[in-house]
A and B are shown apart, each in its own frame.
Chain A
Amino acid sequence: MDNTSGFSVVRNQLFSFVRKEFYHVLRDKKVLLILFGMPIVQVLLFGFVLSNEVKDTRIIVIDGAHDEASRQLISKLEASRYFQVDNISSNESEIEPTFRQGKIKAAIVFPLNFQHDLQHGNSAQVQIITDGTDVNAANTINSYIISIIHDFSSQEKIPYRIIPEVRMLYNPQLLGAPNFVPGVMAMVLMLVCVMMTAVAIVKEKEMGTMEVLLVSPMRPLLVIISKAVPYLLLSLVNLSIIILLSVYVLDVPVKGSVVLLLSLSTLFIITCLALGILISIQTDSQQAAMFASLIGMLLPTIMLSGFMFPIENMPWPLQLISNIAPSRWYYIIVKDVMIKGAGFSSVWKETLILVTMTIVLLAISMKKFKIRLA
């Protein structure tokens, strides 16, 4: 047998194995449904449901004054789309029970002689009580209440003022989407590639069919590779769905080069597949593989990639650990290329890191991979 035909035999073997694995994946309709349903639901959730903006926050007003000024201010609060005045009471002791029932997020207390104090040039003390159990909301609610009250009180112009004029770059309407679309991409790709691949390979071990595959004339490494190929293609389809949804449904366009985005995403997918293969080699049961991928994938992706929580606030050991999470680098790449429209020259460093990670992961897998099962 000469070299060319040897190669074509390997190619034919690989091709038929990949086809076999495709049947495996496509046969399981429920898994497929979730696989494609997940990114869609996530994009829609993040696009339309989850936001950090404050609106319709229910508040209680304690108005002991019942005068013209307090009434005006209350109607100003009610008129803003941020607040919904649930209850106007004159009894301060009502605040605590309503907080305890979880009904309101803030309380505003007017002093007894509100208007009188205002008109006579004294300071009228207004108290704002905010529910501190939701820190972000508390901060924002507080600053909105303050700005509404300031608007109300600063009728006359104060001299010598510096007035800031604010411009929001990249995301002028302060939508959540530009921040989370890259995160969802990293999350879904991780999920499909790491968890699915790891579980699919371990399943063969658990069922005992792995031995059958390993004694086949196919090279063992190719067995593993052919298991990964269908997931590579599935991930690309998923990726396209997310990008299309974000462009056409969420109005988040791809500002940079689509080719660059897709090729770097493919690189990330390969990194994830390598991680999935490594997990599958190291574990023996589907449950163990699943939990290992949950720890190795979901936690770092959600917590350490900077997608949900800012990295710069983390204690330094966590910042250090975040460096080994592939999704951190992919998240930066997508944000730069897709949202900011940057070119390859600004993401080459992240790309290099991903390439190195992939090589290291594959090298470890290769070393740990044993043809004989224990």
Chain B
Amino acid sequence: MAISFVAPVMQFLILPLAANFEIKNINLAIVDHDRSSTSQKLVSQITGSGFFKLVDYSSSFKQAYHLIETDKADLILEVPSDLERNLIRENSGKVFIAMNAINGTKAVIGGNYLNAIIAETNKNILTELIPDVNLNQGIDLATTYWFNPKLNYKIALIPGILAILVTMIGGFLSALNIVKEKESGTIEQINVTPIRKIDFILGKLIPFWILAMIVFTIGLTLAYLIYDIVPQGSLLVLYSFISVYLLAVLGFGLLISTFCNTQQEAMFLAFFFVMIFILMGGLFTSIDSMPEWAKMITKINPVNYMINVMRLVVLKGSGFRDILLDFIVVLIMAVFLNGWAVLNYRKTN
């Protein structure tokens, strides 16, 4: 019992700290064959940006490549010996960037940073060579990030993590419950009582529902105390959605429980589905980027609705009308899953 509280709280405290994709301190090895004032300018611009850490500055590509192989460097910038000459004579000079792309996201973001820095260096070189150049010409872009202006990972992730947390607690505990009674044989005693199936399932459901609600409330409080996240939308909207959502999750757990005979079975079955639900829930990777058939599957994934609603209500301040569709879908799921669990529960073998 204690552990079912401790585990999620730990997860809640650690996960936001761990889940920081902000790419900084990219280890950079520079191979400079040019050693000109231009290459110096580029190097100082890059090292001054704060995103990169210069681990090696040499004239040997082989040495730099070895650093990539041993994971000491993430990126190589190679400046050919004719950079400055080409820049003056042919109007443009090339530099080569090689990056460790095993982690694609990191490579793309690191590359974006480097491109931006090179563009900045270009501007500096241009104003130096042609002092009266008009840099304002063209389109001036201004980006704003809404709902999370500083692109803080913690703010973005916490509502989703809270969603996953209550799903895991509700799903696992309810899945293990009936089956535990089956395994220890106490289910027989209940089966011989005149209790109706629906009352039995409801009786199993309500304690877990209350427990999960408490965990959710604790999570929301912790989010406020530790991360200063206050739901932008109304708490009433949030809680009315959660209460229905939990019914669906618990119904799912109880359904698994009615299918299984041992706790091991129930645990693995629950784990299998919860894992797929969470991975496809749209928290860590976006649903837009999934293929069409996978998008169809996410339509029957309750976690997806929960994460969506948490983001909408907590971060964007959406009202009940904005989440009406999600609410109805989850309500249907709750009725369906619990109904199935009641039907599937047999008092006699």
Contacts and interface: CB of A to CB of B under 8 A. Distances in A.
Contacts of B108: 52, 140, 174
Interface stretch (B214-222, B240-248, B284-292): B284-292
Nearest to B265: A30
B230 interface: no
A100 B10 CA distance: 31
B289 A168 contact: no
Contacts of B23: 310, 313
A125 interface: yes
A287 B263 contact: yes
A129 B149 CA distance: 10
Contacts of B98: 166-169
Contacts of A37: 272
B7 A133 contact: no
A312 interface: yes
Contacts of A133: 147-148, 155-156, 311, 315-316
A318 B92 contact: no
B289 A54 contact: yes
Interface string A47-86: 0111111111110000000000000000000000000000
Contact of B95 (A54, A129, A163, A175): A163
A100 B311 CA distance: 10
A217 interface: no
B176 A123 contact: no
Nearest to B79: A162
B337 interface: no
A138 B312 contact: no
Interface string A111-145: 00000001001111111111111111111101100
B18 A303 contact: yes
Contacts of B139: 118, 123-126, 149-150, 152-153
Interface stretch (B113-121, B189-197, B205-213): B113-121
Q: Which of A99, A133, A153, A195 gathers most chain B CB within 10 Å? A: A133
B97 A166 contact: yes
Given A37-B272, A125-B142, A126-B141, A55 B87 contact: no
B294 A48 contact: yes
A346 interface: yes
A54 B14 CA distance: 28
A27 to B, nearest CB: 10
Contact of A339 (B102, B112, B134): B102
Given A163-B93, A346-B70, A100 B17 contact: no
A287 B17 CA distance: 27
A45 interface: yes
Contacts of B150: 132
Contacts of A318: 14, 17-18
Given A57-B286, A167-B96, 14 more contacts: A35-B268, A99-B146, A129-B143, A132-B145, A132-B151, A133-B148, A135-B153, A159-B92, A163-B94, A178-B102, A199-B264, A203-B262, A287-B176, A290-B267
13 contacts: A51-B285, A54-B286, A126-B139, A129-B144, A135-B151, A160-B87, A160-B91, A162-B94, A286-B264, A286-B267, A299-B11, A332-B71, A346-B69
Interface of B: 3-4, 7, 10-11, 14-15, 17-25, 38, 42, 68-71, 83, 87-88, 91-109, 111-112, 114-115, 118, 121-122, 125-126, 129-130, 134, 136-153, 155-156, 172, 176, 180, 183, 260, 262-265, 267-269, 271-272, 275-276, 279-280, 284-286, 288-291, 294, 308, 311-312, 315-319, 322
Interface of A: 28, 30-31, 34-35, 37-38, 41-42, 45-46, 48-58, 99-102, 105, 118, 121-140, 142-143, 146, 149-150, 152-154, 157-172, 174-176, 178-179, 191, 195-196, 199-200, 203, 207, 286-288, 290-292, 294-295, 299, 303-304, 308-310, 312-315, 318, 332, 335-336, 339-340, 342, 346
